[in-house]
Amino acid sequence: MASGDESLRAFAPGRFDVVLTDIGMDSMNGWQLTERIREHDESVSVLFVTGWGLHDGERARLQKLRVRDCLFKPVRPTDLDAAVQAALPA
CA distance 11 to 34: 11
Going along the chain from its start, the domains and CATH numbers come out as 4-87 (3.40.50.2300)
The model's pLDDT over 11-45, given as tens digits with 9 standing for 90+, comes to 999 999 999 999 998 889 999 999 999 999 999 99
The model's pLDDT over 47-61, given as tens digits with 9 standing for 90+, comes to 999 999 898 899 999
Contact 61, 43 (CB under 8 A): no
Residue 71: the pLDDT is: 97
The model's pLDDT over 71-80, given as tens digits with 9 standing for 90+, comes to 999 999 999 9
CA distance 40 to 57: 25
Which residue type occupies 44?
A: V
Contact 17, 89 (CB under 8 A): yes
